[in-house]
Amino acid sequence: MAKLFIVTGANGHLGNSVVRILQNQNHIVRGLVLPSDSIKMLTNLGVQVFKGDVRKLESLEPLFDYSNLDQVPEEVIVIHTAGIVSITAKKNPLMESVNINGTKNLVDLSLKYHVNKFIYVSSVHAIPEKENNEVITEVDSFNPDLVQGPYAKTKAIATQYVLDQVKKGLNAIVVHPSGIIGPYDFGKAHMTMMFEDYLNGYLTSRINGAYDFVDVRDVASGIIQSTVSGKIGSCYILSGHRTELKDFFSRLRIMSGKKLRINVLPMWFAKLSAPLAELYYKIRKLPPIYTAYSLYTLQSNSYFSHEKAYHDLNYTPRSFDETLYDTMKWLVQENRIKRHRVIHFIRTLNPIRKQ
């Protein structure tokens, strides 16, 4: 008997990576997208598309109705990836409504319809930062007052709500990805925009800092494995490789074969100019990749341990170079890099892959 997977945010970077794996495993996959979203990509993948809004409970009910299926599913599993990610320091009522109230709606319906498992995609930002670069591991309770930034606070509140419902019978598991990068981002996530802008020659400055970056496909695999071997009520950090920005851009430069110069800004200047950077991306109608909060994040403790996920989920992130290569290759295929650079990429990327 087949399993039925309900994936929210199915058009998102992580969501569509999850459904790609599930479809290859021949499961029944239902994807939730916003009413205004295109469904072409998901239908091409063979996903049953449902339109709705996580903030509107009534629009979510059809997701849980499987009376029209030929057979009762072996299990019904909800993977809640939908959410608004923001690196701005300003409160966003829409983000709060989606990340908190939307999660509550999904949880409440999962309890009502007695789903077998509920996987909630939280964030490492929901976990309090430790001092002196002490390695950050999983915690079992979440408090918005202990984390920095509006996004982190919404994730902390939602995560605690999910865990509280375990006592009421919700078979929930929480995953905490670090900074997601990788191919198949059909939107404009800020990390993908950083790739694009640098490779297209728009991004000419950076600061000194570091963060933990993880391949979206590894996070998707970890999520799916959690439905098999994850422990109910547990949280799992799905991190990748902590990387200095200097090394990040150096690898991109070497892989591309281009002499893409990038200046290093002093932190005081970066903080001073952050509002102008946000305005620049607002004019371009794109999410900012450079804000006061992102500057804080790149200077914060980003030493995350995924040891627990390794033991319970057999989670092992792929090499960082493979992620960079595949992301660049995908951006080339999607014509998101300038044409005069594409020719050079095609000529240089394949030999690099073999090294």
- Give pLDDT tens digits for 95-113: 999 999 999 999 999 999 9
Q: What is the pLDDT of residue 344?
A: 61
Neighbours of 59 (CB within 10 A): 17
**What confidence category does residue 263 fall into, taking pLDDT thresholds of 50, 70 and 90?**
confident
pLDDT for residue 176 is more than 80: yes
Q: Spell out the residues 6+ positions from residue 30 whose beta carbon is closer than 8 angstroms to its own.
A: 4, 5, 6, 7, 47, 48, 49, 50, 63
Could you tell me if residue 238 is inside a domain? yes
pLDDT for residue 9 is more than 50: yes
Domains held by the chain: number: 2
Together in a domain, 222 and 297: no
pLDDT for residue 135 is more than 70: yes
**What confidence category does residue 261 fall into, taking pLDDT thresholds of 50, 70 and 90?**
confident
Could you tell me if residue 197 is inside a domain? no
Together in a domain, 92 and 156: yes
Average pLDDT over residues 180-197: 88
> Which of 126-130, 243-247, 270-274 has the least mean pLDDT?
270-274
- How many CA atoms within 13 Å lie on the side-chain side of 105? 21
**What confidence category does residue 140 fall into, taking pLDDT thresholds of 50, 70 and 90?**
very high
Task: Select the more confidently predicted residue: 72 or 347.
Answer: 72
Could you tell me if residue 206 is inside a domain? no
pLDDT for residue 89 is more than 70: no
Together in a domain, 80 and 227: yes
What is the spatial distance between Cα 80 and Cα 95, in angstroms, rounded to a whole number? 15
Does this model's pTM top 0.85? My answer is yes
**What confidence category does residue 338 fall into, taking pLDDT thresholds of 50, 70 and 90?**
confident
Together in a domain, 132 and 28: yes
Q: 79 is in which domain, residue-wise?
A: 4-187+212-242+302-313
Together in a domain, 221 and 236: yes
Together in a domain, 306 and 272: no
Phi, psi of 144 (to 5 degrees): -60, -20
Its sign, for the CA torsion 106, 107, 109, 110, is positive
What is the spatial distance between Cα 173 and Cα 166, in angstroms, rounded to a whole number? 9
DSSP output for 46-82:
T-EEEE--TT-HHHHGGGG--TTSSS--S-EEEEE--
Q: What is the pLDDT of residue 96?
A: 94
Q: What is the pLDDT of residue 199?
A: 86
- How many CA atoms within 13 Å lie on the side-chain side of 325? 14
Q: Quote the mean pLDDT of the chain.
A: 89
Task: Select the more confidently predicted residue: 198 or 355.
Answer: 198
* CATH label of the domain that carries residue 26: 3.40.50.720
Together in a domain, 67 and 136: yes
Average pLDDT over residues 275-288: 69
**What confidence category does residue 342 fall into, taking pLDDT thresholds of 50, 70 and 90?**
low
Together in a domain, 136 and 149: yes
Which of these, 354, 342, 162, lies nearest to 256 by C-alpha position? 342
Strand 172-177, strand 117-121: pairing: parallel
Q: What is the pLDDT of residue 145?
A: 96
Q: What is the pLDDT of residue 337?
A: 84
Chain-centroid distance of CA 166 in Å reads: 24
Together in a domain, 219 and 327: no
Q: Give residue 168's identity as a one-letter amino acid code.
A: K
Together in a domain, 143 and 231: yes
Helix (H) or strand (E) holding 172: strand 172-177
Q: What is the pLDDT of residue 355?
A: 40
